[in-house]
């Protein structure tokens, strides 16, 4: 397993470099073929390379991705290593350990009939080209197991917030800031009003205090505006990141965002964007987590996390989904990314038992 993990980590696969993603796909395909005894379907969509293995009539989907957030060349500053039982390197935790565990888990099954494995190449950038493949692969199945990295302490991810992305564009009128600012309509001032309004939306959507893990968040992020220091801004904009625990909250935020209205005379607002991923609600993982607890030789913990994954799409279809079955460690997207290698065999065995139980009708 460690040798396989090294092979994947040392083949860099930055989402923004489609040639690198294609090279990585070849390595993942060869590894899967060795363990599963079959070549995958290679699915290239808008230049992004995805892989899918299908055995018989699928009943269970194993879902992961091989792209990472790390630019090509990161291996020079974050080299592959295993020291004192800790593996490090770009993408080791998110989520190449999960891919290794998947192949080894399935290799130990007596038969693979009923299994589908989908490894996508653009999860880290929103799954734009892979979402149709994910939904097509999961529709009508008994279960989806997502091999994303675990939460803190190895917890399985039984709920994930859904995501929405918006862009609020403000249009005003330019004027000379020294000679006649009164003839302008300041888009920057209006944007300030809108940022304050957006930052208050979460409280009104939730209607009260909720734990941070489940509370709605509406966060203004990237903003810009204006042209020169002596000109009243004629245009300004802000991006807005939204995280929600329920479909109802996602709909309420969308309604509120589209109801934003200008306060500064002479300005107008345009809101674009909308929901990207539905939430993975706890009800969609409850029975699978109970099954995992029955099958595990040691107690399992669960977590509700703010980050989204492709499991949000499968849960949104109504397919029971359990996430966070991948590597145990920490530091996703961070310099201290790592995996505890002693945990890999146990996670692999748990995945194998889960797949076997679902195929047997559990």
89: its two tokens = 């390197």
**Full domain range(s) for residue 111:** 2-161+279-359
Would you state the pLDDT for residue 290? 98
Q: Among 277, 296, 329, where does a domain finish?
A: 277
pLDDT, tens digit, 9 for 90 and up, residues 141-191: 999 999 999 999 999 999 999 999 999 999 999 999 999 999 999 999 999
Q: Does 362 have pLDDT greater than 90? A: no
pLDDT interval class at 207 (50, 70, 90): confident
Section 339-346 average pLDDT? 98
- Please tell me the predicted confidence (pLDDT) of residue 214: 86
Same domain, 328 and 350: yes
Q: End-to-end distance of the chain based on CA atoms, in angstroms?
A: 28
Domain boundary among 246, 277, 308: 277
176 with 235, same domain: the answer is yes
SS3 of 27, please?
A: helix
Is residue 174 within 8 Å of 258, Cβ to Cβ? Answer: no
* Residue 208 pLDDT grade (very low, low, confident, very high; cuts 50, 70, 90): low
Rounded CA separation 162/309 (Å): 9
Same-domain pairing of 145 and 294: yes
* Together in a domain, 178 and 253: yes
Which secondary structure element, helix H or strand E, spans residue 292, and what is its range?
helix 286-295
Of 99, 120, 91, 121, nearest to 18 by C-alpha is 121
pLDDT exceeding 90 applies to what percent of the chain? 96
Mean pLDDT of 102-114: 96
Is 125 in the same domain as 176? no
Q: Give yes or no for a cis peptide into 95 (omega within 30° of 0).
A: yes
Residue 44 sits in the same domain as residue 135: yes
Same domain (yes/no): 198, 283: no
Q: How many domains does the chain have?
A: 2
Q: pTM value?
A: 0.89
Find the CATH number of the domain harbouring 264.
Answer: 3.30.70.360
Residues 105, 206: one domain?
A: no
- Do residues 151 and 59 both lie within one domain? yes
> Of 8-17, 95-104, 208-217, which gets the smallest average pLDDT?
208-217
Q: Kindly state whether residues 14 and 151 are assigned to the same domain.
A: yes
Here the CATH number for the domain that contains residue 336 is: 3.40.630.10
Q: Quickly tell me which residue has 């808008």 as its tokens.
A: 46
Over residues 243-278, the pLDDT tens digits come to 999 999 999 999 999 999 999 999 999 999 999 999
Cα distances from 143 to residues 70, 119, 240, in angstroms, run 31, 16, 33
135 and 229 together in one domain: no
Residue 84 has pLDDT above 80, yes or no: yes
Neighbours of 163 (CB within 10 A): 20
Model confidence band, residue 307 (pLDDT cutoffs 50, 70, 90): confident
Do 22 and 7 lie in one domain? The reply is yes
DSSP for 209-250, please give it.
---TTTS-EEEEEEEEE-SSTTB--SEEEEEEEEEESSHHHH
pLDDT one-digit tens code per residue, 42-81:
999 999 999 999 999 999 999 999 999 999 999 999 999 9
Looking at 257, 277, 297, which one is the last position of a domain? Answer: 277
């Amino acid at each position: 397993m460690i040798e396989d993990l090294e092979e994947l980590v040392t083949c860099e696969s930055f989402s923004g470099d489609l040639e690198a993603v294609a090279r990585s796909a070849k390595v993942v395909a060869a590894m899967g073929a060795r363990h599963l005894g079959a070549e995958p379907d290679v699915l290239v969509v808008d230049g992004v390379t995805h892989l899918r293995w299908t055995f018989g009539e699928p009943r269970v989907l194993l879902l992961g991705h091989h792209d990472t957030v790390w630019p090509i060349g990161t291996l020079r500053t974050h080299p592959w290593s295993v020291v004192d039982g800790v593996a490090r390197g770009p993408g080791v935790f998110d989520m190449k350990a999960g891919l290794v565990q998947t192949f080894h888990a399935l290799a130990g099954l007596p038969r693979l009939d009923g299994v589908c494995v989908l490894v996508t190449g653009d999860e880290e950038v929103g799954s734009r080209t892979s979402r149709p493949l994910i939904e097509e692969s999961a529709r009508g199945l008994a279960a989806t197991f997502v091999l994303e990295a675990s939460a803190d302490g190895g917890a399985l991810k039984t709920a994930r917030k859904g995501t929405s992305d918006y862009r609020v564009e403000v249009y005003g009128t330019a004027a000379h800031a020294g000679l006649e600012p009164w003839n302008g309509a300041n888009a920057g001032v209006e944007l300030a009003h809108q940022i304050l309004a957006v930052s208050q939306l979460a409280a009104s959507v939730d209607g009260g205090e909720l734990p941070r893990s489940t509370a709605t968040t509406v966060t203004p992020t990237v903003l810009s505006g204006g042209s020169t220091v002596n000109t009243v801004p004629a245009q300004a904009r802000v991006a807005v990141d939204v995280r929600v625990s329920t479909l109802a909250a996602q709909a309420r935020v969308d309604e509120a965002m589209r109801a934003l209205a200008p306060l500064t005379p002479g300005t107008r607002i345009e809101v674009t964007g909308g929901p990207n991923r539905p939430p993975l609600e706890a009800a969609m993982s409850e029975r699978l987590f109970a099954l995992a607890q029955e099958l595990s030789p040691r107690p399992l913990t669960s977590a509700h996390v703010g980050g989204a994954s492709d499991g949000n799409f499968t849960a949104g279809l109504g397919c029971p989904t359990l996430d966070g079955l991948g590597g145990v460690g920490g530091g996703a997207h961070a310099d201290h990314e790592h995996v505890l290698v002693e945990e890999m065999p146990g996670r692999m065995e748990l995945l194998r038992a889960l797949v076997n139980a679902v195929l047997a009708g559990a």
